[in-house]
Amino acid sequence: MEWYQHFRQEERPFIDQVLEWKEMVSRQYAPKLTDFLDPREQQIVQSLIGSGGDVRVSFFGGASFAERKRGLLYPPYFAPEENDYEIALFAVRYPAKFVSLGHRDVLGALMSLGLRRGKFGDVLVQGSDIQFFAAAEVADYVRLHIEAIGKAPVALEPLPLSAVLPVEERWQEGTVTVSSLRLDALLAQAFRLAREKARALVENGLVKVNWKVVDKPDFLCGPGDVLSARGFGRCKLMAVEGPTKKERWLVRIGWQK
């Protein structure tokens, strides 16, 4: 298929899914709402749908700054509104004076329900305040089944989307040189690790590229790729500036602030 040549091999099943959605909307002339998609998946959907055709696409994750968003594929006659994305917002109420909860704790509790990751959007943490987005179709189930996170008793309070915490993602950029665009080489420079340490993190399944686990140290990264290593944080390959005179690569990397 001609579309495959523009994407990585591991992305082919998702490409097939998107093309099925597109065909369904075109055939039925009715909107199709997706689960929450990570930014890379959103990019793929946008590329495959394009603009100006008989199928359009737009994204919304509950807030303008949301990272994970639901996609809405629709025919030209349709004018999307926020409620068409069917997103619920919850505040996590817990005894903050006695226990500390973070992003990992909340996401772990949500995933323990047995639902797909795609049913949940961003988890927002600002001090002791915690909120998360969920697909409206699972909201009641989630609210009824999350009574504790770790050892902390919690209650989930539904909120209007207008009450979302003002948590925005910011990147601090810098330029480094790397021996190659291999995943282990980039990780080593980005997080100031020994190459062997970076390679071990990858091989042990502790590294994600574009929100998917990658366990091959020689995986070649490209501009726009988001890398995360458990315990070290997240970085983004903003741009590849080109080769240096010493046969290295000059790259611009962003670190989350």
pLDDT in tens, 73-112: 999 999 999 999 999 999 999 999 899 998 889 999 999 9
Q: What CATH number has the domain spanning 2-84?
A: 3.30.1370.160
Q: Using CB atoms within 10 A of its CB, is residue 235 exposed (0-12), middle (13-18) or buried (19+)?
A: buried
- pLDDT above 70 as % of the chain: 96
Residue 196 pLDDT = 95
Q: Tell me: the pLDDT tens digits for 155-171?
A: 999 999 999 998 766 67
Residues 6+ apart with CB under 8 A from 158: 88, 89, 90, 139, 143
Q: Where are the beta strands (DSSP E) in the chain?
A: 32-37, 56-60, 69-74, 87-93, 120-126, 129-135, 148-149, 152-153, 155-159, 171-178, 207-209, 212-213, 226-229, 233-243, 249-256
- The pLDDT of residue 219 is 94
Average pLDDT value for the chain: 91
Q: Which of 187, 243, 189 has its CA nearest to residue 218?
A: 187
pLDDT tier, 6 (very low <50, low <70, confident <90, very high otherwise): low
Q: Give domain limits for the chain.
A: 2-84, 87-163, 171-256
CATH fold for the domain made of 171-256: 3.10.290
* pLDDT tens-place string over residues 233-255: 889 999 998 888 788 889 999 88
- What pLDDT does 10 receive? 81
Global pTM reads 0.79
Mean pLDDT, range 136-156, rounded to an integer? 95
**What superfamily does domain 87-163 belong to in CATH?**
RRM (RNA recognition motif) domain (3.30.70.330)
What single-letter DSSP state applies at residue 125? E
pLDDT digits (tens, 9 = 90+) for 38-47: 988 998 999 9
Residue 155 CA: distances (Å) to CA of 2, 91, 127, 139, 145: 49, 8, 18, 13, 10
Contact 206, 232 (CB under 8 A): no
CA–CA distance, 42 with 57 (Å, rounded to integer): 10
CA distance 240 to 249: 7
Number of CB atoms found within 10 A of residue 22's CB: 20
